[in-house]
Amino acid sequence: SAVHLTVLDEVDSTNAEVLRRWPDAGSAMPVCLADCQTAGRGRRGHAWQSPKGENLYLSLGLTFHGGFALLDGLSLVLGVAVADTLEQLGATNVGLKWPNDIFIGERKLGGILVELQGELQEGIVQVIVGIGVNVHMTRAELVDQPWTSLAAAFPDRSWGRNQLAAALIQAVQACTSVFARQGFHAFRPAWQARDIHFGKSLRARQGQLEGVGAGIDDAGNYLLRTDDGLVPVRSGEISLRVV
C-alpha cells in the first residue's frame, strides 16, 4: 500500500517527525528517514546515538483496527521483520534479544522503538515504529555495550541505506498485515529460532527472579525456567546472569 515518505538531513527523532507528518499522509503510511538525529530515542528512556551519514534511522506510522489488545506481540513481530530482511540482504547469525533488539552474534546491531500514539476512535490504534540499524557506524565511544555494524560484520558486501530502508518498509508492511489478521502466533517459531537467550542463565525483575531462558509464550512474554517451573516475564529488562 501507499507510503508518504519524508527524507531529511537532520531531525530530532524520526519517530517524532512521523507523528508531525501523519496528518499530511492521508490514507498512506507515513514514513520518515533521516541522515542524523539530534534527539534519537531508545527504549526505556535511553538516548539512541545517531551520528550523521552512517546508519539507518527509519520510522513508520501504523494503524491497527481492533484496539490495544491486538498489540501484544507487535514488538516481537517487528523484530522478526527486521531479522528476515537483514538475512535476505545477506546478513548471517542474526539474533533477537527479547523483545526486539537486533544482534549479530553477541553484539547489538540495532533496535526497535514502538510508541503507542493512542486510540483515534474506539478500536483504531496508531503506533509509531522506529528502527535504528548500525550500517557504517565507526564511533566506538558513542555506545555503552558491545555493538557492531553491517559494514563491520559483513565487509564483503556493500550496504546501501536506501536499499535497506526500502526492504524494511516492505517487510514491516507485510509482517504487520499478517499480524493484524492472524495475531502473534504465526511468528512465534521465527522469533524463537533467533532467541539469543535460549538456554542461558538469566535474571529478571531487578534480579529478583533467576532462571534459564526458555523462549516465549503465545502472548509474547519471555519464559524463564525456574525451580518453580516456567515463569512468564511481562516487562522489565532481562539480562544475562553473571555467575
Residues engaged in binding ligand BTN (CB under 6 A): 13-15, 37, 40-43, 46, 48, 57-59, 101, 111-113, 130-132
Name residues whose C-beta falls within 8 Å of residue 174's C-beta, 6 or more positions apart in sequence.
Answer: 81
Name residues whose C-beta falls within 8 Å of residue 167's C-beta, 6 or more positions apart in sequence.
Answer: 85, 88, 89
Q: Which of 21, 108, 203, 205 is catalytic?
A: 108
Is the Cβ of residue 58 or residue 153 nearer to ligand BTN in the bound state?
58
Nearest approach, Cβ of 102 to ligand BTN (angstroms)?
Answer: 8
DSSP labels for 52-106?
TTTSEEEEEEEEEES-GGGGTTHHHHHHHHHHHHHHHTT--SEEEETTTEEEETT
DSSP labels for 3-21?
EEEEEEEEES-HHHHHHHH
Binding residues: 13-15, 37, 41-43, 108
Nearest approach, Cβ of 106 to ligand BTN (angstroms)?
Answer: 16
Binding residues for biotin: 13-15, 37, 41-43, 108
Q: Which of 21, 43, 107, 225 is catalytic?
A: 43
Nearest approach, Cβ of 122 to ligand BTN (angstroms)?
Answer: 29
Active site residue 241: yes
Is the Cβ of residue 57 or residue 64 nearer to ligand BTN in the bound state?
57
- 135: DSSP letter: S
Residue with cell 502466533: 185
Nearest approach, Cβ of 118 to ligand BTN (angstroms)?
Answer: 18
Is the Cβ of residue 182 or residue 235 nearer to ligand BTN in the bound state?
235
3-state DSSP of 140-156: HHHCCCCECCHHHHCCC
The continuous run of DSSP H or E covering 196 comes out as none
The catalytic residues are 43, 108, 241
